[in-house]
Structure 1
Amino acid sequence: MKVYKFGGASVKDAAGVSNLYEIVSSLNDRPLVVVVSAMGKTTNALEKVLHLAKDAKMQETYQVLELVFEMHRRICYGLFRQNHAIFERLAAIEAEMKFVVEQIPGLPYNQAYDSLVGYGELISTYIVSAYLQEKGLKHQWLDARQYIITDSSWRMAMVNMEETRSRISKLGMNKNDIVLTQGFIGSNNEGHMTTLGREGSDYSAALFAWALGAQSLTLWKDVPGVMSADPAVYSDAEVFSFVPYREAVELTYYGASVIHPKTIKPLENAGIPLLVKSFKEPMLPGTLIAAGDTTVPAVPSRIRKTNQVLITLKPNDLSFVSESMMAAVLQEFHTTGIRIHLMQNSALSLSVCIDYDPVRVEPLLHSLSQRFRLKYNSGLTLLTIRHYLHQPDILAKETKHRKILLEQRSRSTAQYVFGE
């Protein structure tokens, strides 16, 4: 059996949903689990709804929510006759979402996030399921919340691997079965919806593949495979035909957005190959991620993360930056759910580079300022270059005319924090 995952860009409009059907029906991989993300920029739009509701701007909240509903209706108008049952289904879920929005002002932000934003995946799979049924492709719609079981770490839930595997393994798929389900979402022991972190649908698909002992997992993306750099930024970006598991972990750790960071581990543990292919050109070979030693071709990888914050902490009493002080600081980051991308210390200071998320970062800065002298710069870029020795002049080329605020280099990786 195999697992496919289709991201939001692949189902952003009626043509995308139709293309998903064409891929699934023409490639004829069976049995098959199909994991689908929210359509287009739905997640971003629902995050905006959440922010407005938390600010008690309810009129604007419902205006943006209506835009979300209308976008999905437009997709359905391009796929179904006007009296199709999908429109009743959409009306029911719209009413449910409006009720959820009413509760948001009384919930902590992260819990409110999970109560609302995962609806994008549910709507998406309702529409895709209705279209597959319309085209005569038999399948089973599955609620991922009944199978991906997590703790209550809102917005970044930790999966209960044993319980999740137990539930998924009981699906009992026959040789011609197709199962359609959602990425990104799960539920805690109380049955409340949780989310697995931004772009978490890749991880969801990996969990299904791992639990079912799949032959392979294919991520259908809007790029031809894993690339050496973002082609929107670098015109010389190349497609890797092969990437070892461990290099893929390194790339996702440093911020390569084509794959969710947690995706690789369950696949490597089970020896399941991962394919990254283009939904626009499904016959292209894409990238194979599996056991091996080196990428093909052997060229450097460049990963840019924007919207970064560089924080520098200094003890108030000029004491050294000790292991105990660093442990206390790291615990602060852990408690607030903030991941450090780069860290460097001197005798009297500790600097860290992180994503700017105002909901998490502002409370962190306030807490740290109680114990340390604190300076920070925002609006920065973190550039990571893997295997820079493959191209000896790449470091000089990438840092020329940059105002470098922090740099770090190892045998295989160079990182730079700079302002644009």
Structure 2
Amino acid sequence: MKVFKFGGASVSTVDRIHNVGNILQEYNGEQLMVIISAMGKTTNALEKVAEAFYAGNTVESLRLFDVIKQQHITTAKYLLVTHYNACLAKLTDFFTEVEWLLHDKPSKPYDYYYDQVVCVGEMLSTCIVSHYLRETGIANKWIDVRDVIRTDDNFRDATIDWTVTEAKTKEWVQPLFRENNIAITQGFVGSTDENESTTLGREGSDFTAAIFANILDAESLTIWKDVEGVMNADPKIFSDAQLIKELSFAEVIEMAYYGAQVIHPKTIKPLQNKSIPLHVKCFLDIRLPGTIIYNKQVKNLPPIIILKNNQALLHLSTQDFSFVGEAPMSRLYNLFGQLKIKPNLIQTGAINVQLCMDDKSDKTDQLAAEASQLFDVQVVKNLTLLTIRHFTKDLMNTMLSGKNILLQQQTKETVQVLYV
């Protein structure tokens, strides 16, 4: 068995959905567990629905959701003839699921409503793709992943209950392959034992695919993307970005940790535990070799460049000129946990701490306010964090020419520089 994951870009248009069918035809006769994300920018659009609802603007939330509804209905009309009515009936069930909630008044935390609304994107995309495949003669079984992936109730970043999830996968998913070669389900989504929808964090579809690959003892996991494979830099920014043909699990974990938008950070461990290779391939040209990621040391890697914009730097200084000791640092790390903040860079001095983080305005301001009880706080925004793995001095000099450097850290393998 192989596990395939198709991201939002691979199902963003009618032509690209046709292409998914063509790819699956290339693997005719093989058992495939297929995980599919929401179409295109649907998740972003659903986030705006959730925001409007939570702000108390019912009319606006319903208007925004109607736009999403019509987009999916239109896609179904272009793709389907004989299976259109069955698909529309299923889509309508999902539309009703959200609209029922939007007519209510929020009484729980925002993250709860976020998950109930945003998860529908994956339901809609997989419903349409599954019916399209059937219409073209590709038999498949559609699965609601919320019946299989069990999580806790940490909404927007739920933790997997592996014991229950494994039992449900073996009970409900494995038997399907006795009669079907292809199963279609959703990434990014799970549910609590109270049947409340949860999400696994943005880009969590990769993680979903790895969970199934692990439990089903898959031969491999393939993530289909709109690039050749894993590149050493973002090709949209660096025209000379080059393909990396092979990587170790350890290297990819490092890349993900520093912010490379390649693989969801939680994806690797379930694969590494069972030595399941991960392929990153181009859905636009399946003949390209792509990248293989596995339990093997890979040497002579090129410099790997990761840029993160929209960074904030917090200068924290002790209020009485005492040393930054264990007690204030412990309280600071507790704040990170409470606010669900992952610092990108921390540097400590005798009486100060400098902290770089993604500037999510609500969390940046919240952290600054809470930290002001322990420190004098200054905040600088609109910064860029550059990380280079396997750096060279020449490359550093080129990339940092003319930049105003505010913070820099360096190890043997990695340099990080925060600049204006």
**Conserved 8 A contact 1:30-1:176:** no
Give the drift of 1:365.
2.5
Cα gap change, 1:118/1:258 in structure 2, threshold over 3 Å: closer, same or farther? same
Q: CA RMSD in A?
A: 1.6
CA distance in 2, matches of 1:58, 1:417: 41
**Conserved 8 A contact 1:309-1:353:** yes
Of stretches 213-222 and 106-115 in structure 1, the one that deviates more from structure 2 is: 106-115
Give the drift of 1:38.
0.4
Give the drift of 1:174.
3.2
Of stretches 61-70 and 244-253 in structure 1, the one that deviates more from structure 2 is: 61-70
Partner of residue 193, structure 1: 197
Partner of residue 54, structure 2: 54
Partner of residue 123, structure 2: 122
Cα gap change, 1:304/1:316 in structure 2, threshold over 3 Å: closer, same or farther? same
Partner of residue 138, structure 2: 137
1:2-401 aligned at under 5 Å gives the runs: 2-28=2-28, 30-81=30-81, 84-103=85-104, 105-170=106-171, 171-172=174-175, 173-174=177-178, 177-294=181-298, 298-388=301-391, 391-401=392-402
**Conserved 8 A contact 2:186-2:205:** yes
**Conserved 8 A contact 2:150-2:190:** yes
1:280-338, Cα deviation, whole Å (9 max, x unpaired): 0111110000012225x621000111222111212222111112221210111111111
**Conserved 8 A contact 1:311-1:376:** yes
CA distance in 1, matches of 2:353, 2:64: 41
- Letter paired with 1:199: E
Of stretches 161-170 and 250-259 in structure 1, the one that deviates more from structure 2 is: 161-170
CA distance in 2, matches of 1:407, 1:364: 22
Give the drift of 1:104.
5.9
The unaligned stretches of length 5 or more in structure 1 are: none
CA distance in 2, matches of 1:339, 1:196: 16
Cα gap change, 1:413/1:138 in structure 2, threshold over 3 Å: closer, same or farther? same
- Letter paired with 1:34: V
Cα gap change, 1:355/1:9 in structure 2, threshold over 3 Å: closer, same or farther? same
CA distance in 1, matches of 2:105, 2:120: 14
Of stretches 2-11 and 130-139 in structure 1, the one that deviates more from structure 2 is: 130-139
**Conserved 8 A contact 2:58-2:102:** no
Of stretches 47-56 and 171-180 in structure 1, the one that deviates more from structure 2 is: 171-180
Please give the secondary structure, in 1, of the residue aligned with 2:40. coil
How many residues in Structure 1 have an aligned counterpart in Structure 2?
Answer: 416
Q: Percent identity?
A: 40
CA distance in 2, matches of 1:168, 1:217: 17
1:153-194, Cα deviation, whole Å (9 max, x unpaired): 111111112222222233233385211100000111222111
CA distance in 2, matches of 1:103, 1:255: 37
**Normalising by structure 1, what TM-score?**
0.95
Give the drift of 1:367.
1.6
Cα gap change, 1:143/1:220 in structure 2, threshold over 3 Å: closer, same or farther? same
**Conserved 8 A contact 1:7-1:221:** yes
CA distance in 1, matches of 2:155, 2:77: 35
Of stretches 82-91 and 70-79 in structure 1, the one that deviates more from structure 2 is: 82-91
**Normalising by structure 2, what TM-score?**
0.95
CA distance in 2, matches of 1:115, 1:327: 34
**Conserved 8 A contact 1:145-1:187:** yes
CA distance in 2, matches of 1:108, 1:30: 44
CA distance in 1, matches of 2:96, 2:190: 21
- Letter paired with 1:35: I
- Letter paired with 1:19: N
The unaligned stretches of length 5 or more in structure 2 are: none
CA distance in 2, matches of 1:405, 1:320: 22
